[in-house]
Amino acid sequence: MERAFSGVTIPETHWLLGCFPFFPKDPTKRIHHFIELCNKNVCEDGFAFLWGFFRRPIVIACSPDAMGQICKSNAPKARGLVSVYRLMEPWLGEGLLVANGKRWARNRRLLTPAFHFDILKPYTKVFNRSADVLVAKLSEKAATKESFEVFQNVLLCTLEIILKCAFSYEKDVQHAGEADPYVKAVNRITDTLIVRFWRPILLWDFAFYLTGTGRKFKKDCDFVHSVAEEIIDKRKQALAAGADTDVAEKRYVDFLDILLTARDETGNGLTRLEIRNEVDTFLFEGHDTTGSAISWILYSLAQHPEYQRRCQQEVDAVLAGRDFDDIEWSDLPKLEFLTQCIKEGMRLHAPVPILARELQEELNIGGRVIPPGCIMQLNIWALHHMEKYWGADHWEFKPERFAPENIDKIASYQFVPFSAGNRNCIGQHFAMNEEKVILSKLLRNFTFSLDPAHEVKKSASAVMRTVDGLHMFSKKRRGGGVSPEYHIETPPFSMVTTNQTQMLLGTGIELGSKEFTAHCVGVFLSLHSSTISYYFHPSIHPSTHPSTHPLTHPSTH
């Protein structure tokens, strides 16, 4: 490895723990130190090098070309001792986030239809209803002029959304909050993963599960699995009994519907365990990362009132003349400046800061031969702050970077908030739509400002968070506007569109799903075509470049 990176400056290193003991202990300073290290030590071909825990070599992609070469390689997700993917396995199993090889490829192919635009379209109602609850909660804070903690409130909103969209879990998560046993268990699991990663002694399973924390972690995983399995079994029984299987009578198709009815080319579907793994994976990736993105975007808008006002004016213009504030599917491509702010927020604060691959064979990159076993770090956080590509003002929030006249200046693989290549995020369009709806609802109703009594300290873990929370004030802009549906007990489904049924019918035939095809036949004659202009509208994509465009690289994670 030293030969491969001869001539490259390597940071000060401990003989066992690598470079990490020399990083600042303060989490915010640690993040800035790492960015400075990458900017200072990057070699000409776009890589930096350091030693990790137990003297494991880590190669960091610090340029678009370097990121692209790793993303396009067949290197699997790192699953060694010092791998967060391995630590997640007791919870997420062999779901899309963790799986490698043929298992990942097959399941990825089966799950892709779940994120077709006709499936995503009805979810806008779910986004609106949960956003209404969040607006009502923040209205109470605005009335008392109290500050609120952003992450806690936004994450409960995104968790409620993904629970409904994943398997129609209809509990009032936002009001139950930490009292909901499922929410409590999920929060403890994610907190424990962070603690375990940064304590080397706990990386060994035998040591971890001897501790009280390890035993509690196992208990929480078992509970979360039992909730998912109970819902899966009930839905399976309903399908077998022929109850609630007429797609035309449902109010929307959730991910569980897709998982239960998907079939591969041999006619085989997903096992009960595989379905549970994917449901748990959707839950984690669908709320924590999106909640982090929304929270940091609000933070940047609160720091820059001029950009916040522009977003508010844009949302007001889109909703002008309406009785209620629901953001409709057709509104999403109209939110052009808000989309610029979302992209810049994800550049500046990278919700998922680091991904990793482990080489199984030699990789020749820029004339350097990297040996097998090396950890290739896709450091999105570092890439989004490289001065060479983003300028000396890379720490500044500047949405104009993503204005139409500037978008061509961004190279392929330079902006990759959802990763890229054949394992980019399967739910990136779901996430972008959700972020647009929630932020539009919030900005329509409030003006946000930071609470100076609370210092903001970033903490990079599985997702970008803070040490002591993110506190803001919400000032009410206007009255009313909440849909009357917010006050009604909403049933578990929202009406399936005929285009959605058409798409599902085709999927059922293609994948050999006789049950799913049969469900759709009854409404087949009523199908009609719909526009797909939204799907191809450049403003909805996190990048318009071929490297990250969904038509070039099917979204995966």
List binding-site positions.
425
Given a contact cutoff of 8 angstroms between Cβ atoms, the answer to whether 148 and 298 are in contact is no
359: left (phi over 0), alpha (psi -120 to 50) or beta: beta
Nearest Cα to 139, choosing from 442, 434, 487, 489?
442
Burial of 424 (0-12, 13-18, 19+ CB in 10 A): buried
For 335, the token pair is 């939110």
Of the CA atoms within 13 Å of residue 16, those in its CB half-sphere come to 2
492 three-class SS: coil
Segment holding 464, helix H or strand E: strand 464-466
54 to 21, 57, 200, 201, 372: CA distances (angstroms)? 12, 9, 9, 11, 17
How close are the terminal C-alpha atoms of the chain, in Å?
28
451 three-class SS: coil
Annotated binding-site positions for heme: 425
Q: ∠ CA 173-143-141 to the nearest 5 degrees?
A: 35
Given a contact cutoff of 8 angstroms between Cβ atoms, the answer to whether 434 and 127 are in contact is yes
Burial of 160 (0-12, 13-18, 19+ CB in 10 A): buried
